[in-house]
Amino acid sequence: MPKKHLRNVLYLVFVLLLGAAFVLATQVYTPQAQIQQTNLVTAIEQVAKQAVPAVVHIEVTERQEIANPLLPFENEPFFKYFFGNPNKMPKKFKREISGLGTGIIIDDSGHILTNYHVVGGATDIKVLLADGREFTGNSVKTVGTDPKTDLALIQIVEKGPFPHLSLGDSNKMEVGQWVVAIGHPRGLDQTVTQGIISAKHRTGISDPSSYQDYLQTDAAINPGNSGGPLMNLNGEVIGINAAILSESGGFEGLGFAIPSNIAAHITQELIKNGKVIRGWLGVSLQSITPELAKSFGLSSNKGALVADVVKGSPADRAGMKHGDVVIAYQGNPVDDPSSFRNSVSLAPVGSEVKLTVVRNGAKQDVTVEVGSMEEQEKEVASSLKQQFGIAVRPLAPQEAAEYGLESQSGLVVTEVDSKGPFGKAGFEKDDIILQVENNPVDGPDTLLALLSTLKQKHEATVLAVDHKSGQSTAVQITLP
């Protein structure tokens, strides 16, 4: 056969094979794509049908007494001229605040998981089920709350049965996987939205002293969704919707959920103890900057730098030192201080954990016995008094209301050494500490951690409330 004819035949065969391959690919791919599309639609529909009955609408009422805002001026001549005898002026006013949110029934006993910021401080809680049942007053009790993770557990004390949902494994979720959010945004009951997991391990979203490890999602979340479930397509709760980032106050594609693995641990602690018992090592931590990584001879800026070790703490007894860089916890890499702190908090008190640290350029393992919060409180109180000449306690909700404070985070000064840095700056007993360097403080441990990470002789800015006038002011404190 001439070469020219042979080329034509081969070309024809090639075209026929290419056409056959295209037809085959079309026959295989198109129906499969249709099946996947149909399954996605069906899956979201099935998740919604299964979950909506177990997602509850929560309405709360908080009654507060607040100080009269005119009290600081009662002795001023101008005030007396216009308002007369200040002794006849009411010292306090009563007000009532209403709010709403969402909750998830997690068992047949009527336990409902929600956000702390939904029910914390509430004097009345009303729970409405999708089937029309309503529970309020003595029918609903608060089992326990945990402000540090923004989680709370309430319970319908009447007998069920109650529809309920299971908590899945949030660690198995990957970026790009589909999720479904259910809640009551702006009071619109049983609203279902869908999206994907946009990112994992988000921090810096809320109070820096809290335990943060958020799942980020673009599923629509709005005010009223708080406490509702973020679910995978298997119908499992893999997150508790808690926060949004928004300039408008509404949905802008940046929603955040507390991972279900954290929620499961907190739930068990609240049911068992009514509070959360966390592990504690006794170290103050800071992030590794590129400059610090270079100075410590690290290959990356991952890890947690030990800025301070509380004297007498488990870390101190184990020989940990200022300047250690924690790069692994129980054999798993440590990405940053937040993830390390979260891992330690979940460790059982009394258990031993192995840390890998870099000290003077060399790696070494350190075994630490996890301490308790009670031990922490004792050691923190001792350190605050010795280093900074101050003793504090958490601000009570009613005290925050009396001073008209929007946040309940803060510390009341119970003792102050006049020769210490706080005493020299003019602090007195019963003054309230709200922030240090623009960071909120909600516990003595937070105050110690924030102060310990600042340099010696640093001029720290402390936002405080004067207990006499009720006025907030920024105070400069020179650290020892």
219 and 175 within one domain: yes
What's the rounded mean pLDDT across residues 98-109?
93
Q: Give CA angle at 334 (328, 339), nearest 5°.
A: 135
**Mean pLDDT over each residue of the chain, to the nearest integer:** 85
232 shares a domain with 176: yes
**Residue 384, in any domain of the structure:** yes
Q: Which residue has the higher pLDDT, 148 or 199?
A: 199
Residues 127 and 249 in one domain: yes
What whole-number distance in Å separates Cα of residue 212 and Cα of residue 215?
10
Instruction: Name the band, by pLDDT with cuts 50, 70 and 90, for residue 140.
Output: very high
pLDDT at 33 over 50: no
201 is catalytic: no
Q: What is the mean pLDDT of residues 224-245?
A: 94
For residues 22 and 151, state if they share a domain: no
Mean pLDDT of 95-112: 91
CATH code for position 290: 2.30.42.10
CATH number of domain containing 168: 2.40.10.120
For the record, the structure tokens of 122 come out as 């509430």
Shared-domain flag, residues 195 and 95: yes
Residue 404 lies in a domain: yes
Question: What whole-number distance in Å separates Cα of residue 142 and Cα of residue 103?
Answer: 13
Evaluated on CA atoms 38, 43, 48, 50, the torsion sign reads: positive
Residues 90, 225, single domain; the answer is: yes
Helices (H) and strands (E) in the chain, counts: 11, 25
To which residue do tokens 């709200």 refer?
434
**How many domains does one find in the chain?**
4
370, 344 Cβ separation under 8 angstroms: yes
Q: What angle do CA 134, 136, 139 make, to 5 degrees?
A: 100
pLDDT at 239: 97
State the helix-helix crossing angle for 444-452 and 373-388, rounded to 10 degrees: 50
From the list 150, 431, 445, 466, the catalytic residue is: 150
Residue 374, domain member (yes or no): no
- What would the pLDDT profile of 49-59 be if each residue is shown by its tens digit? 999 999 999 99
pLDDT at 415: 94
Range of the structural domain that residue 44 is part of: 3-52
Is residue 294 domain-shared with residue 247, that is, in the same domain?
Answer: no
- Nearest partner of 313 among 359, 364, 279, judged by Cα: 279
Tell me the one-letter amino acid at 177: Q
pLDDT digits (tens, 9 = 90+) for 378-422: 888 888 998 899 999 988 877 887 787 877 778 999 999 999 999
Q: What is the mean pLDDT of residues 112-131?
A: 93
CA dihedral 67, 68, 72, 73 (to 10 degrees): -170
Q: Is position 226 annotated as part of the catalytic site?
A: yes
Residues 427 and 308 in one domain: no
Catalytic residue among 57, 111, 117, 184: 117
In a domain, 375, yes or no: no
The span from the CA of 181 to the CA of 190, in Å, is 10
Residues 215 and 253 in one domain: yes
DSSP secondary structure string for all residues of 275-308:
S----B--EEEE---HHHHHHTT-SSS-SEEEEE
3-state secondary structure at position 176: coil
**What gap in Å lies between CA 252 and CA 132, rounded to an integer?**
32
Is there a contact between 257 and 202 (Cβ–Cβ < 8 Å)?
no
Smallest CA-to-CA distance from 276 within 153, 127, 409 is with: 153
467 among known catalytic residues = no
Sequence-distant (6+) residues with CB within 8 A of 171 are 259, 261
Task: Give the model's pLDDT for residue 270.
Answer: 96
Same domain, residue pair 177 and 63: yes
Given 170, 198, 209, 226, the catalytic residue: 226
